[in-house]
Amino acid sequence: MTAITTPGAVASILALVAVALHPALETDLWRAERPVILAAASLLLVLALVLRAAGAGRPRRAAAWLLAGGALVVVAAAGGDGVRGHVGTLSLVPGQSRGNFAEVGPAGRSLGLRPLPFAVTLDRVQVGGGAVLAFSGRPGTVEVTAERAVGFGGFRFGAPRLTPTGGAARLVVAVSDGQATQMAEVAPGRPGRVGALTITLQEYFPDFALDEGHPFTRSAEPRNPGALLTVERAGQTWRVFVLQAVPGLHRVEELGRSFALVETEPEVAVELAVHREPLAPLLLLGVVSAAAGVALGGRTR
């Protein structure tokens, strides 16, 4: 048993823990075995440190027990969080509120939706990719960025990732009578107006293409934006198609107007990483204890 207390054995166990945690080994085969290997190596490391502390001489005994106790607390807290904690993702579009998130289990397996004890609202998306959130029961808003997570109600939210939804947050449509051009801002559920004309978004194609005469979108990326609009005047309506790559594509002779899509603002969803680690304070205490043991051991030598 004392063989695992030698410096070489302890270093080997630490190397095994490091290998188990290394992100380069994120493969499906390794992901299934990693938790078992990591747990075994961590328990073996704690056992080695406890045995070393038990056999340490008086000058180093306090430092050795601080290190061993800290390691034991860290492993216990990490294991407890693995059992009682939750990991997943929360996806929101601006203005949307949700009271649950998609939980992910070991090996990335989906565990379905897990309720939150509060509602999370995406207030807006920042230019640099950050997300401004609001929590029910908490006044004001808070910004989450790639470098800054936020905690509330025992949960932590961070690592925002922006993905296009395939929808449009806002379109700018130019309406020209041949002499003057006016702009109308159109958004889903919010028609734009130019004089007596009301312009409503009927369908948006972020990457427009035709398949045997039928329009469709090749992807959710805004590579070739197009839109089908409804233009209304005095109770009469016209369907108008606009394509950003072809300005003035559609002209309505009855109105004496041509229409062009000059600007698009794609709708994006923000995907947030969600973590609940109820034993995180205990883990921090273990880290402090282990660090104190290392520092005290250095002074003792």
**According to the model, what pLDDT value does residue 3 have?**
64
**According to the model, what pLDDT value does residue 103 have?**
87
Beta strand ranges found along 136-256 (DSSP E): 142-144, 150-152, 155-176, 181-186, 192-194, 197-205, 208-211, 214-217, 226-233, 236-243, 250-252
User: CB under 8 Å to 42, separation ≥6 — which residues?
Assistant: 17, 75, 78, 79
Distance CA 126, CA 129 (A): 5
In 10 A of CB 209, how many CB atoms?
A: 14
**According to the model, what pLDDT value does residue 71 have?**
75
Whose CA is closest to 160, among 274, 266, 265?
A: 274
**According to the model, what pLDDT value does residue 84 have?**
63
C-alpha 293, offset from chain centre: 37
Is residue 88 within 8 A of residue 98, CB to CB? The reply is no
The pLDDT profile of the chain, 301 residues, written as one tens digit per residue, is 566 666 666 667 666 666 666 555 555 555 556 666 767 777 777 777 777 777 766 667 777 777 777 777 777 666 665 666 678 999 998 889 999 999 887 667 788 888 999 999 999 888 778 899 999 988 999 999 988 999 888 889 999 998 888 999 899 999 998 889 999 999 998 999 999 999 999 999 999 998 887 889 999 888 999 999 999 999 999 999 999 998 878 889 999 999 999 999 988 899 999 988 766 666 677 677 777 766 766 665 5
Q: Exposure string (b/e) for 250-271, b if CB count within 10 Å is 16 or more?
A: bebeebebbbbbeebebbbbbb
Structure tokens at 4: 């695992």
Handedness of CA 2, 53, 67, 72 (dihedral sign): positive
In 10 A of CB 189, how many CB atoms?
A: 6
Angle between helix axes 58-84 and 280-300 (nearest 10 degrees) is 160
**According to the model, what pLDDT value does residue 51 have?**
72
Structure tokens at 267: 């709708």
Beta bridge partners of 97: 121
Distance CA 199, CA 158 (A): 39
Distance CA 57, CA 118 (A): 53
* CA atoms within a 13 Å half-sphere pointing along the CA-CB vector of 225: 23
**According to the model, what pLDDT value does residue 54 have?**
73
Is residue 226 within 8 A of residue 249, CB to CB? The reply is no
Whose CA is closest to 192, among 251, 243, 127, 262?
A: 262
Distance CA 300, CA 114 (A): 50
